[in-house]
């Protein structure tokens, strides 16, 4: 393959120059990145290791960089005030902050994020007395042709704003139950450069999602561009007899999307499009 | 791989060869004397040449040569169909063209946005590029990530010189290209493998360049929409081809029988994900269990099946 010594030498040089840094340097880089994020999002508040009280479940390798499922489990005794999800190496690391209300059934959350490159994903829980507890998982970026971009922008725009709510078939008043909220939205990052107009395509993403059960707040989420297209939340809530689950979302262009679903048996299985 | 010469492959034109050598020397003047090694090509039909890429992920041992590419020679010019995963592969493809014909490339056709099919475009800076009407935006949104991945996989040398995204002839619906006594039909498809899949049909020989709408041996990769893909397969099946060139797999396969395995996989994928959704399962549960029965029938199953399940789950949960 290398017939010319000079070419071979140049090629070897390039290979040496592009070889990834050793693991020790990676760990140092990761620590430096976290220092920066700690300062940016939590200022001088101490952040403790959650040590099993908060667990994060994410695939070791992102199967699809545009859609990486992340589940955060929180020990039931730990009544969290807020939970923040961070993706260290993403352009906007803070993916979401969830504020839990009186109708929350616990601080666990499942959602889907975008992952730009090999990165730590962190969950930081804030207890009622203001302590910050953190846990993390390392996610390798997907290989090959996977990229954190919307697969079909036209389709995404065509169904923009549609909300689907999935409820347990037989919710029991007062007993925490799991619900899933899906909001159809491209969640465009604003980081895509239009090479013809020489401008960035404006960001267009869901910035808040509020969920209420029987009029009381389950959670209020502030969301950003690290959340995958079609924002998708699974959470625990406390059902109310004869009540409803109400979802209201706002996006960065000022649009409001809302859906209210009765908690009757089987409700929400096939919500019509808005 | 064997190389065959067909009756109208054409002989190497001495002046064209000289000019190519001169151009190569100019390009490499700073690096010292070097030749560009032409890619091995198979003539699958008269005037239709295909280079078969490795069925693997891009890695140093295959130098990023992991997708099929080809060219079709007409009386007045050459159409290039996909250009390979690195600028170097594009240069080697161009060298292979110059070795087979004195006609010049008049059009580069990209079958879709994936880097293993388009990064060789760098070697065709003087040739117009045709692609699906969605190609430009789709690649623009991903190119930086693709380039970074290539750098991670093969080093900065491999990804140097990748030009900015260019699509000079966007195709919506159907477009015909006359290469001189040879008509090519370019068809843009609805979202399937990606949202910018394009096929090329050479009417003269009944050869269909299916791009990544046809995977053979290599597990199909869903970066678009599985249900859409199944419906595109139903339409493609009616193309009156006698052979097809898959995006990954052998240089040529019989048509339309070659679609069967891919259709079976996508059908099992859709049905499996639907079952998990009906049972209220999560993406992770679907990834762990769906399509296990297909594992032994494909290469790169573990590299791509989890991602196919993930993408299909997100697609079908809106049903």
* pLDDT score recorded for residue A195: 59
Q: Report CB contact under 8 Å: A151, B223.
A: yes
A-chain residues within 8 Å CB-CB of B152? 20
Distance CA B68, CA B253 (A): 13
**Which chain B residues are within 8 Å of A162, Cβ to Cβ?**
318
Q: Give B126's pLDDT tier (boundaries 50, 70, 90).
A: very high
% of chain A with per-residue pLDDT over 70: 84
Rounded Cα gap, residues A40 and B44, in angstroms: 60
Separation in Å, CA of B44 to nearest CA in chain A: 27
Under a CB-based contact definition with an 8 Å cutoff, are residues B314 and B282 in contact? no
* B51-104 per-position pLDDT tens digit: 999 999 999 999 999 999 999 999 999 999 999 999 999 999 999 999 999 999
For residue A14, list chain B residues with Cβ-Cβ distance below 8 A.
155-157
Per-residue pLDDT, B248: 98
**Is B141 in Cβ contact with A192 (below 8 Å)?**
yes
**Considering only CB atoms, which chain A residues are within 8 Å of B282?**
69, 71, 110, 234
Confidence of residue A26 (pLDDT cuts 50, 70, 90): confident
Task: Indicate whether A71 pLDDT > 70.
Answer: yes
Q: How far apart are CA A222 and CA A220, in angstroms?
A: 7
Question: Which whole number is the average pLDDT over A184-212?
Answer: 83
Rounded Cα distance, B246 and A261, in Å: 47
All residues of chain B having their beta carbon less than 8 Å from the beta carbon of residue A20 are 152
* Domain boundary assignment for chain B: 14-256
Contact with chain B for residue A271, Cβ under 8 A: no
The residue of B121, B283, B303 whose CB has the most chain A CBs within 10 angstroms, and thus the best one to mutate to test that interface, is: B283
CB contacts under 8 A, A 168-207 vs B, are 182, 184, 192-196
At residue A265 the predicted structure's pLDDT band, cuts being 50, 70 and 90, is low
* Contact residues, A window 27-66, toward B, CB-based 8 Å cutoff: 57, 59, 63-65
Mean pLDDT across B263-275: 98
How much of chain B, in percent, has pLDDT values that exceed 70?
89
Helix (H, G, I), strand (E, B) or coil at A176: coil
- Chain mean pLDDT for chain B: 90
A209 touches chain B (CB under 8 A): no
Q: Which of A234-243, B18-27, B310-319 has the lowest mean pLDDT?
A: B18-27
CA B78, B83, B87, B91 dihedral sign is negative
| A interface test, pick of B142, B168, B191, B315 with most A CB neighbours within 10 Å | B142
Closest Cα partner for A226 from A116, A72, A99? A116
Rg, chain A, Cα only = 21
Confidence of residue B219 (pLDDT cuts 50, 70, 90): very high
Contact B284 A15 (CB under 8 A): no
Alpha helix (H) ranges present in B4-81?
A: 14-28
Helix (H, G, I), strand (E, B) or coil at B293: helix
Task: Please count the other Cβ atoms lying within 10 Å of the Cβ belonging to residue A243.
Answer: 19
The pLDDT, as a whole number, for residue A10 is 43
Calpha distance A167→A264 (Å, rounded) = 9
Q: Is the ipTM of this complex over 0.90?
A: no
- Res A12: pLDDT: 42
Share of chain A above pLDDT 90, in %: 64
Q: What's the confidence (pLDDT) of residue B16?
A: 46
Crossing angle of helices B226-236/B301-316, nearest 10°? 100
> Which residue among B57, B136, B307 places its CB closest to the CB of A64?
B307
Using an 8 Å Cβ cutoff, are B310 and A63 in contact? yes
Return the structure tokens found at A267.
């409700």
Chain A residues within 8 A of B225 when measuring between CB atoms: 151-152, 155
Contact B167, B175 (CB under 8 A): no
Q: Which of A65, A69, A141 sits opposite B283 (nearest CB)?
A: A69
pLDDT, one tens digit per residue, over A30-39 is 999 999 999 9
Residue range B266-282: mean pLDDT, rounded: 95
Helices (H), chain B: 14-28, 87-100, 115-118, 135-140, 143-154, 156-159, 226-236, 260-278, 283-289, 301-316
Please report which helix (H) or strand (E) contains residue A120, including its range. strand A119-127
Residues A176, A236 contacting (CB under 8 angstroms): yes
Model pLDDT, residue A188: 87
What lies within 8 Å, CB to CB, of A224 at 6+ separation is A92, A94, A95, A96, A205, A207
pLDDT tier for residue A197 given thresholds of 50, 70 and 90: low
What pLDDT score was predicted for residue A193? 65
pLDDT band of residue A76 (cuts 50, 70, 90) is confident
Tell me whether strands A206-213 and A244-251 are parallel, antiparallel or unpaired: antiparallel
What CATH architecture applies to the domain B14-256?
A: 4-Layer Sandwich (3.60)
Read off the pLDDT band of A118 (50, 70, 90): confident
Question: What residue ranges define each of the domains in chain A, with the CATH number in brackets?
Answer: 22-262 (2.60.40.2470)
pLDDT, tens digit (0-9, with 9 covering 90-100), for B135-194: 999 998 899 889 999 998 999 999 999 999 999 999 999 999 999 999 999 999 999 999
Q: Under an 8 A CB cutoff, do A152 and B157 touch?
A: no
Q: CA A30, CA A45: separation in Å to the nearest integer?
A: 20
The 10s digit of each residue's pLDDT in B231-267 is 999 999 999 999 999 999 999 999 999 999 999 999 9
In the structure encoding, which two tokens stand for residue A28, read together? 């140092």
pLDDT at B198: 98
**Residues B141, A154: C-beta atoms closer than 8 Å:** no
């Amino acid at each position: 393959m290398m017939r010319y010594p000079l070419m071979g030498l140049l090629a070897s040089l390039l290979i040496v120059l592009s070889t990834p840094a050793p693991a020790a340097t990676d760990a140092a880089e990761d620590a430096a990145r976290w220092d920066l994020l700690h300062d940016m999002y939590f200022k001088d508040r101490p952040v403790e290791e959650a040590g099993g009280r908060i667990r994060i479940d994410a695939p070791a390798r992102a199967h699809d960089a545009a859609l990486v499922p992340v589940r955060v489990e929180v020990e039931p005794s730990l009544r969290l005030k807020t939970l923040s999800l961070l993706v260290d190496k993403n352009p906007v690391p803070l993916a979401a902050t969830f504020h839990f209300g009186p109708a929350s059934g616990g601080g666990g959350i499942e959602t889907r994020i975008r992952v730009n490159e090999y990165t730590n994903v962190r969950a930081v829980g804030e207890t009622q007395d203001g302590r910050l507890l953190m846990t993390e998982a390392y996610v390798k970026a997907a290989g090959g042709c996977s990229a954190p971009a919307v697969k079909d922008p036209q389709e995404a725009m065509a169904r923009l704003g549609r909300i689907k709510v999935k409820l347990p078939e037989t919710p029991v008043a007062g007993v925490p139950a799991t619900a899933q909220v899906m909001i159809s939205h491209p969640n465009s990052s604003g980081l895509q450069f239009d090479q013809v107009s020489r401008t960035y395509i404006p960001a267009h993403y869901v910035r808040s999602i509020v969920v209420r059960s029987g009029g009381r707040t389950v959670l209020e989420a502030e969301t950003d561009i690290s959340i995958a297209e079609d924002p998708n939340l699974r959470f625990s809530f406390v059902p109310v007899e004869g009540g409803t689950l109400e979802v209201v979302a706002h996006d960065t262009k000022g649009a409001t999307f809302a859906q209210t679903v009765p908690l009757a048996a089987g409700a929400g299985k096939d919500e019509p499009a808005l | 791989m064997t190389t065959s010469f067909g009756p109208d492959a054409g002989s190497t034109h001495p002046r064209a060869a000289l000019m190519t050598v001169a151009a190569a020397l100019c390009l490499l003047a700073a690096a010292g004397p070097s030749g560009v090694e032409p890619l091995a090509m198979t003539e699958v039909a008269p005037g239709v040449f295909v280079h078969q890429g490795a069925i693997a992920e891009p890695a140093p041992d295959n130098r990023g040569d992991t997708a099929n590419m080809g060219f079709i020679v007409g009386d007045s010019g050459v159409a290039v169909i996909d250009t390979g995963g690195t600028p170097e592969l594009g240069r080697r493809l161009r060298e292979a063209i110059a070795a087979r014909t004195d006609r010049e490339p008049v059009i580069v056709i990209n079958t879709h946005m994936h880097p293993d099919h388009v990064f060789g475009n760098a070697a065709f800076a003087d040739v117009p590029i045709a692609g699906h009407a969605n190609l430009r935006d789709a690649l623009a949104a991903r190119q930086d990530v693709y380039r970074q991945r290539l750098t991670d996989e093969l080093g900065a040398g491999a990804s140097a010189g990748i030009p900015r995204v260019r699509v000079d002839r966007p195709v919506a619906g159907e477009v015909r290209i006359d290469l001189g006594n040879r008509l090519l039909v370019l068809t843009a498809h609805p979202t399937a493998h990606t949202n910018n899949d394009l096929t090329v049909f050479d009417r003269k020989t009944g050869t269909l360049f299916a791009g990544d709408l046809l995977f053979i041996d290599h597990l199909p990769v869903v970066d678009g929409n599985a249900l859409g893909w199944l419906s595109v397969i139903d339409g493609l099946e009616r193309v009156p081809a006698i052979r097809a060139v898959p995006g990954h797999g052998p240089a040529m396969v019989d048509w339309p029988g070659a679609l069967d395995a891919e259709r079976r996989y996508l059908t099992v994928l859709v049905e499996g994900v639907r079952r998990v959704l009906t049972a209220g399962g999560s993406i992770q549960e679907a990834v762990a269990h769906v399509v296990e029965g297909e594992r032994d029938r494909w290469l790169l199953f573990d590299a791509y099946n989890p991602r196919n399940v993930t993408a299909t789950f997100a697609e079908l949960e809106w049903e």
